[in-house]
Structure 1
Amino acid sequence: MRTWYWDQDSPLGFQHVYGRTHSTITHLTYDSRKINQGGCFICIPGSNNDGHRFIGNAIHRGATTIVGSNDRALQYWHSLYPLLTFVLVRDSKTALAEYASHLHDHTHKKMNLFGVTGTNGKTTITAYLRSLLNQLGEQTGVIGTAGVWSGKQQYSFKSTTPTTPESSDLQNIFASFYEEGTETVAMEATSIAIEQQRLHGLEFKVGIHTNLSSEHLEFHKTMENYKKAKLKLFQQSNIAVVNVDDPGMASDILDMFQGRVWTYGIDHQADVMASQIQTDEKGTSFLLMVQGDSYLVHAPIFGTFNISNALAAVATCLSVGYPVSDILQAIPDLRGADGRFQIVSNYPGKQIILDYAHTPDALELVLEAVHKLPHQRLILMITGIGLRDPAKRPRMAEIAEGKADYIVVSVDHPGPYDRQGIVDDVVAGFRDPTNTTIYKETHREDGIHKALSLAREGDLILITGLGFGGYQVINDQHIPYNELEVIDSYFQKLKQLPLTH
Structure 2
Amino acid sequence: MNLPQILKEQLLSTIGPATKEVTHINYDSRKITNKGCFVCIKGDNTDGHLYIEKAVLQGAVQIIGDQQDVLIENAKRYSDVQFILVREPKKALALYSSYLQSHAHKEMSLIGVTGTYGKTTITAYIRNLLNGSGIKTGSIGTAGVWDHRSSLSLHRSTPTTPESSDLHAYLRRMRKRDISSVVMETTSIGLDQERLYGLHFDIAVHSNLKPEHLDYHGTFDQYKKAKLRLFDHANVAVVNTDDEGMSKDILSTFKGEIWTYGIHHTATVQAKNLKATENGSSFDLLIKDQLYDVFIPALGTHNIYNFLASLCVCLAKGLTIKEILPLFHKLEGPPGRLELIPEFPKRKMIFDFSHTPYALDNLLETIKPIPYKRLIIMITGIGIREKSLRAPIAKAVEGRADEIVVTADHPGDEDPLVIVNDVIAGFETTTENVHPVTNRGEAIKKAMGLTKEGDLILITGLCMEEFQIIKGKKVPYHDYDHVKEFLDSSDSQKYFQETSK
What TM-score bracket applies, with the shorter chain setting the length?
over 0.9
Please give the per-residue CA displacement for 1:157-214, whole angstroms capped at 9, x wherever unaligned.
Answer: 1212111100111100000000011121110000000000001011011110111112
Amino acid at match of 1:317: C
After TM superposition, give the deviation of residue 497 of structure 1 in Å: 6.9
Equivalent position SS for 2:391? helix
> Relative to 1, partners in 2 of residues 1:57 and 1:9: Cα closer, same or farther, differing over 3 Å?
closer
Please give the per-residue CA displacement for 1:26-85, whole angstroms capped at 9, x wherever unaligned.
Answer: 111111111121111111111112111111111111111111111122111110111211
1:242 to 239, 243, 246: 239
User: Is 2:434 the partner of 1:438?
Assistant: yes
- 1:247-326 maps to which residues of 2 (within 5 A)? 247-326=244-323
User: Is 2:420 the partner of 1:420?
Assistant: no
- Distance in 2, matches of 1:172 and 1:8, equals 20
* Corresponding residue number in structure 1 for 2:463: 467
Identity among equivalent positions (%) equals 44
- Distance in 1, matches of 2:4 and 2:107, equals 27
User: Is 2:187 the partner of 1:215?
Assistant: no
* Corresponding residue number in structure 1 for 2:355: 358
- Distance in 1, matches of 2:492 and 2:425, equals 37
* Corresponding residue number in structure 2 for 1:448: 444
Amino acid at match of 1:66: I
* Corresponding residue number in structure 2 for 1:24: 21
- Distance in 2, matches of 1:245 and 1:400, equals 26
Amino acid at match of 2:228: L
After TM superposition, give the deviation of residue 9 of structure 1 in Å: 9.8
- 1:2-401 maps to which residues of 2 (within 5 A)? 4-6=1-3, 11=8, 13-401=10-398
- Distance in 2, matches of 1:83 and 1:364, equals 59
After TM superposition, give the deviation of residue 11 of structure 1 in Å: 5.0
Equivalent position SS for 1:47? coil
1:491 to 468, 487, 492: 487
Moved over 3 A (4+): 5-13, 494-501
- Distance in 2, matches of 1:7 and 1:353, equals 53
- Would the aligned equivalents of 2:442 and 2:482 in 1 still touch at CA under 8 Å? no
After TM superposition, give the deviation of residue 450 of structure 1 in Å: 1.4
- Distance in 2, matches of 1:411 and 1:193, equals 25
- Would the aligned equivalents of 1:470 and 1:480 in 2 still touch at CA under 8 Å? yes
Equivalent position SS for 1:187? strand
After TM superposition, give the deviation of residue 486 of structure 1 in Å: 1.7
- Distance in 1, matches of 2:329 and 2:3, equals 55
Amino acid at match of 1:271: T
- Would the aligned equivalents of 2:136 and 2:179 in 1 still touch at CA under 8 Å? yes
- Would the aligned equivalents of 2:378 and 2:404 in 1 still touch at CA under 8 Å? yes
- Distance in 2, matches of 1:220 and 1:184, equals 31
Give structure 2 stretches of 5+ with no counterpart. none
- Distance in 2, matches of 1:498 and 1:276, equals 47
- Distance in 1, matches of 2:11 and 2:229, equals 25
After TM superposition, give the deviation of residue 454 of structure 1 in Å: 1.0
- Distance in 1, matches of 2:275 and 2:285, equals 12
Q: Output the TM-score relative to the length of structure 2.
A: 0.96
- Distance in 2, matches of 1:82 and 1:417, equals 44
Amino acid at match of 1:50: D
- Distance in 2, matches of 1:442 and 1:377, equals 24
Report how many residues are paired. Answer: 497
- Would the aligned equivalents of 1:6 and 1:21 in 2 still touch at CA under 8 Å? no
- Would the aligned equivalents of 1:147 and 1:469 in 2 still touch at CA under 8 Å? no
Please give the per-residue CA displacement for 1:229-253, whole angstroms capped at 9, x wherever unaligned.
Answer: 1011111111111111111111111
Equivalent position SS for 1:65? strand
Equivalent position SS for 2:309? helix
Please give the per-residue CA displacement for 1:261-316, whole angstroms capped at 9, x wherever unaligned.
Answer: 11111122211111222223322222111122111121111111111101110011
Amino acid at match of 2:40: C
Equivalent position SS for 2:489? helix
- Distance in 2, matches of 1:53 and 1:193, equals 24
- Would the aligned equivalents of 1:65 and 1:87 in 2 still touch at CA under 8 Å? yes
Equivalent position SS for 1:269? coil
* Corresponding residue number in structure 2 for 1:404: 401
Amino acid at match of 2:126: L
After TM superposition, give the deviation of residue 7 of structure 1 in Å: 6.2
- Distance in 2, matches of 1:23 and 1:96, equals 18
> Relative to 1, partners in 2 of residues 1:269 and 1:9: Cα closer, same or farther, differing over 3 Å?
closer
- Would the aligned equivalents of 1:6 and 1:22 in 2 still touch at CA under 8 Å? no
1:482 to 478, 481, 487: 478
Q: CA RMSD in A?
A: 1.7
Please give the per-residue CA displacement for 1:423-445, whole angstroms capped at 9, x wherever unaligned.
Answer: 1211122111x421111111111
